[in-house]
Each structure stands twice: as C-alpha cells, then as structure tokens.
Amino acid sequence: MRLMAGASVAAGLVGALVVSLLVGQSTVSNLPTSTTGESEPLVSLTAEVTVFGTGSFPTTVPSDPTGDVQEAGAAALTAWGRFAVSGDLAILSDHFHGDSPQSSLLAEKAADLAVDPLGEPPYHLAMANPTIEHPSPEVATMKGPVTATRGEEASSVFDWRLVLVWSDESRSWLVWTLEETG
C-alpha cells in the first residue's frame, strides 16, 4: 500500500506505509493561542487569537463545536484518502489549513504522487468512536483508531490524533496537524 507516500513513492516499496508523512514532526505547541486569556462560554465566543505569526483577528467558534469537529475530521480523512491516490492538493484545500505543518508535508509529497498516481479507488480512512477535546476554543482534537482500506489491499489501523483549528474565513474546522498516539 502506498498510502500518503513518503519513501514508498520512491522505487517500488509497494506495501510499505510511511507514517512520517502522516505524522510529521509538528506538535500541539505549534498551534494558535488565545491572547485574551479569558474564559467565556463557547456559544458566540469571540476571542483575540494570534494565528501562525500573521497577527491577530477576531474568532467566533460554532455553538456546537464537538459535532462540527467530528464532521470536519471525517471529511478531512475522506479527502486525504482521495489525495493519496492522485496527488491533487486541491482535494485538501477545504479540509486542511493552508499554513499548517500537515499541509506543508502533504505538499512536499504531492508532486511524487501526481507523477505516478495509484488512481481509483481512493483509500477509505475512517476514525472509529473518536474522542473530541477542546484544549482552547479555537483548537480541537479528534483522537481514535483510524482504519485505512483500499480495494483488495490489506487494511491498516493507526492510532491518531487530528488537531484542528477554527477558521473564520471558511467558517469551519481545518486540520492543522496529525499526531501518532500509539
């Protein structure tokens, strides 16, 4: 299986799954942080947030962030499975923050994937019974086992934590990075 590539794109390591592309070296410490330090209810919460070194802007998170996080995480995993067989970065644009460490890692692999794409069917990535946490109003994590399947290939299971950040621009949660937890 060449899911998400990494070294498996290079010369015939079919069957190898390289988690380094999926996990990368980023950590939760790279996340945006609130500059107000105030605790407010999540309903109509507005806080001043410094994001990715680009300054501050007002952020309003949804009134039901847990459901939204799970939906966003599931959609991101679906997009990731389609990207893995095509190398088409446009597939990820609605689900991954463009300035994130994960987007940078995927962009590095996109050209190699596009040169020799696997084609249909896409990988199916699904997180079973995720645990949703909100370390801050603008950051959420979705943790659980992820099963990767594709056609007749053997399935693989990974223990992952998706870290998502709220985007006012897209009015949605976007993947910031992924951490291997197991």
Report the candidate in 160, 24, 168 with the shortest Cα–Cα distance to residue 100: 24
Q: pTM for the full model?
A: 0.67
Tens-digit pLDDT profile for residues 33-81: 433 333 333 222 333 333 343 434 345 555 555 568 999 999 999 999 9
pLDDT at 64: 55
Q: Does the domain spanning 6-180 belong to CATH 3.10.450.50?
A: yes
Band (111; pLDDT cuts 50, 70, 90): confident
Is the pLDDT reported for residue 173 higher than 50?
yes
For range 103-127, the mean pLDDT? 92
Say if residue 62 is preceded by a cis peptide, omega within 30 of 0.
no
Instruction: Calculate helix-pair angle for 65-84, 101-115, nearest 10 degrees.
Output: 30
pLDDT at 60: 56
Q: Which is more confidently placed, 138 or 57?
A: 138
Which are the contacts of 80, defined by CB distance < 8 A and separation ≥ 6? Answer: 4, 92, 95, 123, 125
Band (181; pLDDT cuts 50, 70, 90): very high
Band (22; pLDDT cuts 50, 70, 90): very low
The residues spanned by each domain of the chain are 6-180
Q: Which is more confidently placed, 42 or 147?
A: 147
